[in-house]
Structure 1
Amino acid sequence: MTDSNPTPDTQISGGCRCGQCRFTVSRGPLFAGYCHCNACRQRSSAPCTGFMMMDEPSFELVGETDSYRETGGSGAPIEHKRCSKCGSTIYTKLYVLKNILAVPEVLLDDKNLFQPQQHVWVSAKQDWFEINDGLMQQPGPPKLSEELMARLPR
């Protein structure tokens, strides 16, 4: 991450559209990027989605939620936690990584905390969508740091 990214002890907060669900994260993001996969595009009705990978033990959520599961691009299950009132996805639990949640950047109170590193699943991006920001482009999943790689199930 760049020097402008939150430090590991940065307090991050955010919430859903209606305000019924609120979250805090006591540790800065482990990764940030844009996803172009079909599932993310369908969930958000957008050409890509910004997300930050957070350490699950540092994530605290208040509010009523529901959830649903599906299979992610890795073939492993992913679980989406949503506000039970407005339907905003609060986070996606990535079972391919231990204790990692993907949090949509649009929910952050401080939008400046989102410092993307890569575009992922660019192989599925819309042909008309141009990427001109100079960030690394991965055809599939993110190229992860050693810290995140250490969390992969063995």
Structure 2
Amino acid sequence: MADSDAIEISGEMNEWSRVAASGNTSSAKFCPVCANHIYHYNPGNPQHLMLKPSTLADTSDINPTIHLWVCEKQDWVQIPEGVMTYETQP
């Protein structure tokens, strides 16, 4: 998760939205050419972006402090001690 003020994104993006099980709207921005998701966000809280780091050219500066949807993680994923976790979407 990152603050939108801390991120600079350039280029055209498409968007989709759906109503989540919580009743909140979940939206995603994605590349109109390859359809890779760049980030997800809640339109009611647009300053918090859930980045998809596989789309970043350099991830060496990323130090995750929050893990979402841990109820659906693969068994082999190791979450470091001391980070905040949420079973689903907070």
Indicate whether the TM-score tops 0.5: yes
Give the ranges of 4+ consecutive aligned residues of structure 1 lying more than 6 Å apart after TM superposition: none
Counting aligned pairs with the same residue, the percent is 25
Residue of structure 2 in register with 1:64 after alignment: 12
Once the two structures are superposed, residues 19-70 of structure 1 have per-residue CA deviations (whole angstroms, 9 ceiling, x without a partner) of xxxxxxxxxxxxxxxxxxxxxxxxxxxxxxxxxx222244333222211101
By relative contact order (CA 8 Å, sep 6+), the higher-ranking structure is 1
Residue 108 of structure 1 deviates from its aligned partner by: 2.0
CA-based RMSD: 2.5
Larger helix share, 1 or 2? 1
Aligned AA (1:83): C
| CA distance in structure 2 between the aligned counterparts of 1:61 and 1:81, rounded to whole angstroms | 11
Structure 1 counterpart of 2:80, from 120, 123, 134: 134
Structure 2 counterpart of 1:107, from 28, 52, 55: 55
Residue 119 of structure 1 deviates from its aligned partner by: 3.1
Residue 101 of structure 1 deviates from its aligned partner by: 1.5
Once the two structures are superposed, residues 68-119 of structure 1 have per-residue CA deviations (whole angstroms, 9 ceiling, x without a partner) of 1012354311211111111111221223534221111112222112212243
* 8 Å CA contact 1:68, 1:79 repeated in 2: yes
Note if 1:88 corresponds to 2:53: no
Aligned AA (1:76): N
Cα 1:118–1:89 shift into 2, 3 Å:
same
Give the number of the structure whose alpha-carbon radius of gyration is greater.
1
Structure 1: runs of 5 or more not aligned: 1-52, 143-154
